[in-house]
Structure 1
Amino acid sequence: MTCDSRDRRRLMYRFRQFYPIVPLSALVALLLASCAPSTTTQCRRLSSAINKGSQLVNSFDVDPEAGEAKADALDTVSEELQAVKLTDETLIGFQSRFINIYDRFSQAFRDTSGLLNEISDLQPNPEGLQKMKAARIKVDKAIDEVEATAEDANALVNEIKNYCTPPAP
């Protein structure tokens, strides 16, 4: 099959028909990309939401009522963090991992609060001492969970800082 001059002219005509569409579509794509929030803006949004939860975690008190209140407040922060609109896939991953971390903290605070209530109601008798030993094991486990979650949170904060901080020139 050979390409004669008539075929070439038809091909050129077709190309010229669509030629203006190519730059126009490139311009539209560029405009749409510039309307999307930048990674820096998204990093700020994510960091702001994460900082609310960090303040709650850092101010945790070993008081049964305070533990339950902190857990409820962390649940609210998790919902707010979930509501942060992100388009950057890496930041979305960080967001979901932090939601998981706050959920783990919240559960550990609830567990600790419940155990502290349980311990405070124990009577100084053999049965109460037995329950106290069992509760102490559970408290130690909850503390271990809080420490492990804190380590995960610190590692994730470092990942976010590395991703969101532009490299030095």
Structure 2
Amino acid sequence: MSILRKYTVIVPLSLSIVLLVTACSDSKASQCQRLIDVVNKGSELIDNNKGQQVTTSLQLSKDLEAVTKQIKELKLKDPKLQEFQSRFVQVFETFSQLIAKAGKALGSAKNAQDSSEGRIKIQKARGEIDTALTAAANAAKQSDDLASQVNKYCSQSK
């Protein structure tokens, strides 16, 4: 094998190894992007399903549980991003629980009979929905604040 032929094989092989190692490194930017992508997916679910019916609300709750699981499963190495990850898990768990609670209350109100017992059921459901919506608004504010912090952190250079 001639020396030129030998280098023709070694150089591309070495370059491939370097590119593979570089591509597999888990930089802060790639970790940020993975976290932001999953969080955006959950936020879009909420935005697209605001004010929907009972079955949609219950499905949204399940979908948010799936997003929460995806956030939990991100393998982030950056300690600050791990902290953000944990906080987003809490926020999306809260959203999921509150939306499920509001959906169930809405379903209860829709199934109430036209009677004094039914009106009591509706009043109770209305209170549960109002409570859930207030708590969801607080969770949304936390989510917005957290997203702002993540964007600020991720835009900083190493």
What letter matches 1:143 in structure 2?
A: L
What letter matches 1:104 in structure 2?
A: T
**1:56 pairs with 2:48:** no
Taking the aligned partners of 1:42 and 1:138, their CA distance within structure 2 comes to 38
Taking the aligned partners of 1:159 and 1:136, their CA distance within structure 2 comes to 34
Taking the aligned partners of 1:62 and 1:145, their CA distance within structure 2 comes to 18
Higher mean alpha-carbon deviation, 146-155 vs 125-134, is at 125-134
Report the equivalent of 1:116: 106
Within-5 A mapping of 1:126-141 = 126-141=116-131
Taking the aligned partners of 1:44 and 1:134, their CA distance within structure 2 comes to 43
Report the equivalent of 1:76: 66
Within-5 A mapping of 1:21-60 = 36-60=25-49
Match 1:145 to one of 130, 135, 152: 135
Tell me the TM-score normalised to structure 1 length: 0.75
Taking the aligned partners of 1:92 and 1:66, their CA distance within structure 2 comes to 31
Residue deviations 1:38-81 (CA, integer Å, cap 9, x gap)? 11111111111111111111112331000111111111111111
Taking the aligned partners of 2:125 and 2:58, their CA distance within structure 1 comes to 17
What letter matches 1:94 in structure 2?
A: F
Give the gaps of 5 or more residues in structure 1. Answer: 1-31
Write out the 4+ residue segments of structure 1 that deviate beyond 2 Å after TM superposition: none
Report the equivalent of 1:95: 85
Give the gaps of 5 or more residues in structure 2. Answer: 1-20
Tell me the TM-score normalised to structure 2 length: 0.80
Larger Rg: 1
Taking the aligned partners of 1:130 and 1:80, their CA distance within structure 2 comes to 40
1:105 Cα offset (Å): 0.5
RMSD: 1.7
Report the equivalent of 1:20: none
